[in-house]
Amino acid sequence: MASHYQSPYLREDSSSPRILMKRLREIMAEDNSAQARLDEITRAIAFTMIADVCSIYLRRVDDRLELYATIGLNREAVHQTRLDWGEGLVGQVAKTGQPLNLDRAPEHSAFSFRAEVGEEDLQSFLGVPILRTGKVIGVLVIQNRQQRLYREEEVEAVQLVATILAEIVAGGDLLEEADKADLEQLLQKPEHFHGKPVVSGVVIGTAVHHQPPPPAHKIFADSVPHEMQRLEEGLASLQKNIDVLIAKNEQLSGVSREVLEVYRLFAYDKGWRKRLEEAVLSGLSAESSVEQVQNENRKKMRTVKDPYLRERIHDLDDLTRRLLRILTGQGNGDQLELPDEAVLLADSLGPAELLDLDREKLRALILAEGSDNSHIAIVARGLDLPMVVDLPDVVERVHDGDQIIVDGQSGEVHVRPPAETLAIYQSKREFFAQSQAELAAERALPSVSKDGVAISLHMNAGLLVDLPHLHSTGAEGIGLFRTELQFLIGNNLPTSAEQENIYRTALEQAQGKPIIFRTADLGSDKAADYMRLDRETNPAMGWRGVRMSIDREGLMRPQLRALLSAAGGKELNILLPMVTTAEEVLKAREIIDKEIERARRNDRLLPTKINVGVMIETPAAAWRIDDIARYADFLSIGGNDMAQFFFAADRESARLSNRYDSMHPAFLSFMKMVADKARYSGKSLGYCGEQAADPLMAMALIGIGIYRLSVPAPSIGPIKRVIRAMDVGHFRQWLEPKLALESRSLRPQMLTYALEQALPL
């Protein structure tokens, strides 16, 4: 047997995979001991893979890897040979969670010789991790005497077997009772992760996935014809559902018609159907077949260079989840039911998806990817929802129902925490609540520095539920009311009357404090289900903001009508987003004038004063801010977009979000130029970027002459404390020479300055 090295996956006869699945199913059906089953499985794998050796190592509670079964090595080493975590080639596979394929294994630096196993004459080595919910629970190894690298098809075959082994092992069918308990303890061990903090707060809650995995299901088919029938019925149901949805509405769940057509294409794809059928014929259940093909698709799509095509992984995954829900009797998926004190885990999430969840139960958010300036982060801050990102392992390895601790200040996440960790964070949560109470007690204190410089502190908002924060934080007003959120959370365009009701209620609840209403900044990643927007190569710099508004007066005019009516008898502040040139301001003001004239003709009560402001979010607008200021009553820097355009770095990109710091002297110098030009024009200038929520960045903005800040509600108190403790004149003298001389972020030096000045960061 050892003299042949052609993989059965490369033979013209493709029956070998089916034979292996059939043999594994037969082994599991036999009335044998767990050890006998393991021995038979290793024998079947070795025969199919034409390997001289096949071994299975399983992870114990102490994280050591124990040889549980082998064909080709010394049988007396079974249950006697144990490797430390990371020891030897097997330990490397376990530690990295990645396959290891070697043609000269003894020459590898990690090779560890164990005389008792009898592998002196073996050269080739292929080890793949046995993974359960992202956690390594063992290693599957095949070896040969001949020096050779295993082919890609062979690696894939062994990975498939390892996937099936993981399910069988986790199900307990290959373990004795004591070992089952050990495995359960291993899977339930406390784990600690460290991600990127986005929104502060301490939460002790219950984990729930935004896309929960399908319930447990059979791995092997009891009856291949029956599973084939279930698959066919599931596919037919899936295709019918998608056809109905496309006929009913061109857009669904925030995806464009193009994506829906991709769903339909995949659902009807004959190649996809054939691969699913082949997996069932090999002896897998319908659910396992769908999961197997899903893994194959993911691997293939990730090798595609085109970014748009790579994004279709999400389409494939969504289609797979739909089919799995049908097969497992979950239907097409209703709105997610959250447990009390819910901590939501997701790969990614849009603002509208977040707003659609039960706010009474949702306590924290963990994302596999994301950045602190993304729109989902902005909404989470507005909701005062603790949030940590850049944690793909947590999303993959946490089970629904696990107890979980989220520290939005440090970025730490504890899963299934031990009692001592739980006690520590219960105390920290109480301390955080006490600190928040102390800040609330200071809300009436003026925001004035030690040397008498008054800083106007406003808060950001977007929903009526944000309004109570206006008074509880002591903010002077709402410096940015994001009206587009009302367009994103519904199934239809909000009517003028619906918008008017929201704006009127907001003004009433503000009790005389000013509100700056930004007209709907739609486009880019902010589009509702019902909107028909063309796919753009670079949507952040595409048809969005005021560009869309002046092109589609039918979108802007009803909103202006609602604002004018809601503010009747009061002062109204309107802010235009994403302005690039003065011409855009003029066109927008023409539309505003049309609605003012319309209100006059209809004898409507107009606002006592109408102020039209402009958001400076592009370098072009910043460079010619003096031109724009001629047609604006006030100015606001949109720091989030300004920073991403200044650095040419997508703020939604997890890879770039940490590369460029808004406290870089180049960006701060640019902002100082804007502040100086605004001052010369005689127009007030504010800063609405989420970066100002960072007390150090707020200090830097004050130092360059920006004295009106609009930040998330939770940041009002901490920033006011810093302002009241700082000497603006002294800090400006310290800062100005560094803007001209330094070439790196000023954050470390600013932190040192703040500590030396005993500022309460």
What pLDDT is attached to residue 454? Answer: 96
Q: Is 692 exposed, middle or buried (0-12, 13-18, 19+ CB in 10 A)?
A: buried
Structure tokens at 615: 């958001």
Computed over every residue of the chain, the mean pLDDT equals 82
In the sheet where 202-209 sits, what is the strand order? 191-194, 412-415, 403-407, 202-209, 342-346, 362-367, 387-389, 196-199
Strand, helix or coil for residue 532: coil
Q: Give the mean model confidence (pLDDT) for residues 422-437.
A: 79
Q: Is the pLDDT of residue 295 over 60?
A: yes
**Mean pLDDT for the stretch of residues 427-454:** 84
Of 65-69, 273-277, 601-605, give the lowest mean pLDDT range: 273-277
Which residues participate in catalysis according to the annotation?
375, 688
pLDDT on residue 255: 31
The distance of Cα 604 from the centroid of its chain, to the nearest Å, equals: 46
Contact 613, 576 (CB under 8 A): yes
Q: What angle do CA 464, 467, 470 make, to 5 degrees?
A: 165
Q: Calculate the CA 699 to chain-centre distance.
A: 30
- Find the mean pLDDT for residues 395-416: 86
Mean pLDDT (whole number) for 295-310: 52
What torsion, rounded to 10 degrees, do the Cα atoms 169, 175, 180, 186 define? -50
What pLDDT, on a 0 to 100 scale, did the predictor assign at position 470? 87
pLDDT at residue 224, as a whole number:
87
Split at pLDDT 50, 70, 90, the class of 15 is: very low
What DSSP state is assigned to residue 691?
G
User: Which residue's structure tokens are 């301390």?
Assistant: 431
Read off the pLDDT band of 334 (50, 70, 90). Answer: very low
pLDDT-derived band at 648 (thresholds 50, 70, 90) equals: confident
Ordered by start, the domain boundaries in the chain are 8-187, 191-212+336-434, 224-327, 454-717
* The pLDDT of residue 488: 65
Query: 720: how many CB neighbours lie within 10 A of its CB?
Result: 24
Task: Look at residue 600 in the predicted model and tell me its pLDDT.
Answer: 95
Residue type for 703, please? G
| Rounded distance between C-alpha atoms, residue 514 and residue 458, angstroms | 9
Closest CA to 480 of 683, 713, 682: 713
Residues 6+ apart with CB under 8 A from 125: 89, 100, 101, 102, 105, 108, 141, 143
The pLDDT tens digits for 158-191 are 888 888 888 777 666 656 566 656 656 556 677 8
Average pLDDT over residues 590-612: 96
The size of the chain, in residues, is 761
Provide the token pair at 11.
Answer: 């033979």
CA distances from 531 to 254, 374, 492, 496 (A): 9, 21, 9, 17
* 3-state SS, one letter per residue, for 714-736: HHHHHHHHHHHHCCHHHHHHHHH
Does residue 312 have a pLDDT over 60? no
pLDDT surpassing 90 at residue 594: yes
Nearest residue to 176 (alpha-carbon basis) of 105, 308, 79: 79
Q: With pLDDT > 70 as the criterion, what percentage of the chain qualifies?
A: 81
> What does the pLDDT read at residue 253?
34
Residues 715, 436: contact at Cβ < 8 Å? no
Greater model confidence, 522 or 664: 664
Architecture of the domain defined by 224-327? Orthogonal Bundle (1.10)
Asked whether residue 755 carries a pLDDT value surpassing 80, the answer given is yes
> Which residues, other chains included, contact 256 with Cβ-Cβ below 8 Å and sequence gap of 6+?
532, 533, 535
CATH number belonging to domain 454-717: 3.20.20.60
- pLDDT interval class at 16 (50, 70, 90): low
CATH number of 191-212+336-434: 3.50.30.10
* Confidence at residue 364, expressed as pLDDT on a 0 to 100 scale: 94
Say whether pLDDT at 133 is over 90. no
pLDDT band at residue 250 under the 50/70/90 scheme = very low
CA distance 272 to 416: 39
- Among 35-44, 389-398, 621-630, where is mean pLDDT lowest? 389-398
Query: Which class would CATH give 8-187?
Result: alpha beta
Alpha helices in 452-601 (DSSP H): 468-472, 485-488, 496-510, 546-551, 553-566, 582-601
373's CB contacts (< 8 A; 6+ apart) are 640, 643, 644, 651, 657, 690, 691
Q: What pLDDT sits at residue 393?
A: 74
- Identify the sign of the CA torsion 194, 200, 206, 207: negative
pTM greater than 0.75 (yes/no): no
pLDDT reported for residue 92: 93
Span 563-583, average pLDDT: 95
Tokens of 135: 């956690």
Give the mean model confidence (pLDDT) for residues 485-496.
69
Nearest 5°: the CA angle 60, 31, 49 is 65
Residue 735: predicted pLDDT = 96
Q: Which residues contact 108 (CB under 8 A, 6 or more apart)?
A: 89, 102, 125
- Over the stretch 67-124, which tens digit does the pLDDT of each residue have? 989 999 998 998 899 899 899 999 999 988 899 999 999 999 999 888 888 888 899 9
Work out the number of other CB atoms within 10 angstroms of the CB of residue 659. 9
Pinpoint the alpha helices (H) of 602-727: 619-623, 625-629, 639-647, 665-681, 695-703, 716-725
Contact between 686 and 638 (Cβ < 8 Å): no
Give CA–CA dist 296/495, Å, rounded: 46
Determine the Cα–Cα distance for residues 537 and 541; give it in Å rounded to an integer. Answer: 9
Phi, psi of 686 (to 5 degrees): -120, 175
Name the DSSP letter for residue 311. Answer: T
Domain 8-187 and domain 224-327 have a common topology: no
User: What contacts 430, CB < 8 A, 6 or more positions away?
Assistant: none
Residue 587: the pLDDT is 95
Give the pair of three-digit tokens for residue 752. 């040192």
User: Are 714 and 472 in contact, with CB atoms under 8 Å apart?
Assistant: no
Task: List the single range of 218-232, 283-297, 349-363, 743-757 with lowest mean pLDDT.
Answer: 349-363
Amino acid occupying residue 391: L
Q: When comparing pLDDT for 8 and 71, which is higher?
A: 71
